Structure 1
Amino acid sequence: MTKPRLFSLTCAMFLLLGILAPAAAQADTPTFTVGWSVYAGWNPYFYMQKSGILKKWADKYGITIKVQRFDYAASLDSFVAKNIDACTMTNMEALDMPAAAGVDSTAIIVGDYSNGNDAVLVRNGLNFSTLPRKPIMLVQKTVSEYLLERGMVLNGQQAQLSKLHLINTSDSDIVAAFLNNKSNQAVVTWKPLVSQIVGDKSVQSIFDSSKIPGEIMDLLVVRTELLNTPNGQKFAKAITGAWYETIQQVASGQAAAIKYSAAASGDSTDSYKEQLKTTALFATPKSAVDFTTSPDLQKKMDLVRQFCFTHGLLGQGIKSVDDVAIAYPNGAIQGKKDRVRFRFNAAYMQAAQQGKL
């Protein structure tokens, strides 16, 4: 072989190695996927990725984190099936989906609680006494159903709960389905969908989550088995660090943060700002930690778990509400100690508070 050809071959080999080596290294990098769905408190995950904040924190811990948008119910199904590693969900769905399915899960970020974002909307002057037997559109087995029942109970209509006629409707279809058919008289959903629906002047809100503050929490939930691995702990630290850098920009009204968080759901910045007004954001780690370690959390979760049990949402063969137990940061357990399926872990939020991430 002549020297020029040998030189060319050597260069080609080094070039190929230069291409393959980073690819191989990337393939060895632990990769995690977070599922999120459209909601004022979760749209910042879109901005987190677009801004580079997520990559910065993932790089710090030598991992890769992806965020993926889903319809809400689909995100929960994907988490239960272990197709994604973490998922945004409410406290109720954490109980009636992964926990009920036997997937031991842990909330590592308590991002906010709904303070008016979820609402019961009606046409034709309906109220809680006239709702029974009327078709009510909502995503069943979610906080929409919980909100509806809490509204009925707090308005003296508990005896009429069995007469509610619920129509299960995907969150991606519910706005058009309600607005395009005037025979639909009631709908329960969350913002930005609520904002779109009440744009129709014939629609009124008769109850919203500001009447039950702190009961509908918005969380980031991770499989506990993953959290108990070294790489899982790296993921938890990275996503928590990225979250607080992101949410502080959103809460302070930084233009790019608001713009991209609004774009995540196809909203205008004005619409998104309006949604944030009814979202009780825990913009600082301290505020989140204080809420998560408060004794009131257990009282609110007891309302939720009792609802789930009454509706048979805690899984087949569950004979007692205590068969799906909840563990809290102070070591308290609600339910049977050997049946813990859902946990609140404040450690990563506390590390953020102390500047230790």
Structure 2
Amino acid sequence: MKPLCRSIGIPLLSLMLCLYGGLAQAEEKRTKFSLAWSIYVGFMPWAYMDEAGIMDKWAKKYGIEVDLVQINDYIEAINMYTVGEFDGATMTNMDMLTIPSASGVDTTALITGDFSNGNDAVVLKGRDSIQDIKGMEVYLLELSVSHYALARALEMAGLSERDVTLVNTSDADIATTFKNSDVQAATLWNPQLQMAMQEPDAVKVFDSSQIPGEILDVMGVNSDTLKQYPELGKAVTGAWFETVGIMLGDSPQAVAARTYMGENSGTDLAGYDMQLAATYMFKTPQEKLDYLTTERVRETMDFVTRFTFKHGLLGSGAESPDVIGIELPDGSIWGNKDNVKMRFDHQFVRMAADGTL
């Protein structure tokens, strides 16, 4: 807001006009917002929501416009949100913590649409036990959710990262790399996982169904923006659950929706359904509320914060895993109460569950 006029002796009418102009500018509200999404099975509903006009319908209900923008590079989408080019972006809970929140951008998981229930996996060639991974080179995208999945797999098997050698590989190259006869172990996610499993001797020795609810897929939105413009939270939440209600099931509309999502993510209906089968998608607002309880979120983020702190992902000045405060679904703060930058606020989901959106 421009400063109000403070000239001495200014005529009364001019002073009134100046004051009015300043107040009008102060009261001017935004009506246009933009959210970024990238290709992944749990994020494809955003594509269909946009194509089918569902987002436009809900945005119009609340007198706003919401632009859904596809960004081909997953991390780039999060980075663009973090520097303020978007009001929100699709990301995992771990990446929400380590990129925007660790950078000081207070971010709310407005939509927690699903969790990986087999979409992330450790794959070996010709071996059927995670214990066989000891001493091997493991190809993966370091410091990603694949890295997290591997760390959890090793921990649960009584091993550690010291028992393997990590080979950093981009997500774009890892499925092709796994075809190399010298590569015997990899950790990767769909659709690359689906491609790797086509190798005749590929065996999944661990997948994310063994750590349910730990790898969450969210639409993270700037918390200050949501506080100032709750209509954005209402519109996006309403549009999301309408879309999910359409896509799940066997009706012609559901099949058409998933066919669109599959084709626009580089596969087909069968391929998309295969990925969806390894994704636990919350079908209704109440199902999400029942599953993502305060206790479950606290337990999940305990694993995540310990992993990210160990690998230096919470910033060079981080002295402990709880350097970033996390608001839990019941409003309590876990971690640093003076540095709350990550929130699981279910107020809009509760409205959807109550039918008050």
Q: Which whole-Å deviations, capped at 9, do the CAs of 1:30-62 have from their partners, x for residues lacking one?
A: 332222222221111111111111111122222
Q: Distance in 1 between matches of 2:145 and 2:33?
A: 27
* Aligned residues between the structures: 325
Alignment match, 2:8? none
Contact 2:294/2:330, CA 8 A, preserved across alignment: no
What letter matches 1:249 in structure 2? Answer: I
Q: Which whole-Å deviations, capped at 9, do the CAs of 1:119-155 have from their partners, x for residues lacking one?
A: 1112242754443553322222221111001101111
Contact 1:114/1:213, CA 8 A, preserved across alignment: yes
Q: Distance in 2 between matches of 1:42 and 1:172?
A: 18
What letter matches 1:209 in structure 2? Answer: S
Contact 1:29/1:64, CA 8 A, preserved across alignment: no
Q: CA deviation at 1:288?
A: 1.0
Q: Distance in 1 between matches of 2:184 and 2:88?
A: 36
Distance verdict in 2 for CA 1:151–1:53, change over 3 Å? same
Q: Which whole-Å deviations, capped at 9, do the CAs of 1:84-135 have from their partners, x for residues lacking one?
A: 2111111111111111111111111111111111111122427544435533
Alignment match, 1:41? 42
Structure 2 segments unaligned to the other structure (5+ residues): 1-28
Contact 2:128/2:204, CA 8 A, preserved across alignment: no
TM-score, normalised by the number of residues in structure 2: 0.86
Q: Does 1:295 align with 2:292?
A: no
Contact 1:35/1:70, CA 8 A, preserved across alignment: no
Alignment match, 2:262? 262
Contact 1:128/1:157, CA 8 A, preserved across alignment: no
Alignment match, 1:138? 140
Alignment match, 2:65? 64
Q: Which whole-Å deviations, capped at 9, do the CAs of 1:74-93 have from their partners, x for residues lacking one?
A: 22222222222111111111
Q: Does 1:192 align with 2:191?
A: yes
> Which structure exhibits the higher relative contact order, with contacts defined as CA atoms closer than 8 Å and separated by 6 or more residues?
1
Q: Which whole-Å deviations, capped at 9, do the CAs of 1:298-338 have from their partners, x for residues lacking one?
A: 11211111111111111120111221111112122111210
Q: What pairs with 1:308-347 in structure 2 (closer than 5 Å)? A: 308-347=308-347
Contact 1:240/1:348, CA 8 A, preserved across alignment: yes
What letter matches 2:267 in structure 1? Answer: D
Q: Distance in 1 between matches of 2:114 and 2:296?
A: 15
Secondary structure (helix, strand or coil) at the match of 2:42 reads coil
Alignment match, 2:54? 53
Q: Does 1:215 align with 2:214?
A: yes
Secondary structure (helix, strand or coil) at the match of 1:305 reads helix
What letter matches 1:242 in structure 2? Answer: A
For the aligned residue pairs, the C-alpha RMSD in angstroms reads 1.8
Alignment match, 2:16? none
Alignment match, 1:283? 283
Q: Distance in 2 between matches of 1:189 and 1:71?
A: 16
Distance verdict in 2 for CA 1:62–1:168, change over 3 Å? farther
Alignment match, 1:77? 79
Deviates more, 1:103-112 or 1:294-303: 294-303
Contact 1:39/1:190, CA 8 A, preserved across alignment: no
What letter matches 2:181 in structure 1? Answer: K
Q: Distance in 2 between matches of 1:335 and 1:118?
A: 28
Secondary structure (helix, strand or coil) at the match of 1:65 reads strand
Q: Distance in 2 between matches of 1:61 and 1:177?
A: 48
Alignment match, 1:10? none
Q: What pairs with 1:54-133 in structure 2 (closer than 5 Å)? A: 54-67=55-68, 68-125=70-127, 127-132=129-134
Q: CA deviation at 1:244?
A: 0.5
% identical equivalent positions:
38
What letter matches 1:152 in structure 2? Answer: L
TM-score, normalised by the number of residues in structure 1: 0.86
Q: Distance in 2 between matches of 1:147 and 1:342?
A: 21
Q: CA deviation at 1:171?
A: 2.3
Q: Distance in 2 between matches of 1:44 and 1:320?
A: 37
What letter matches 1:43 in structure 2? Answer: M
What letter matches 1:273 in structure 2? Answer: D
Structure 1 segments unaligned to the other structure (5+ residues): 1-27
Q: Which whole-Å deviations, capped at 9, do the CAs of 1:180-220 have from their partners, x for residues lacking one?
A: x3222222121222112101212111100011111111111
What letter matches 1:250 in structure 2? Answer: M
Contact 1:292/1:344, CA 8 A, preserved across alignment: no
Contact 1:58/1:64, CA 8 A, preserved across alignment: yes
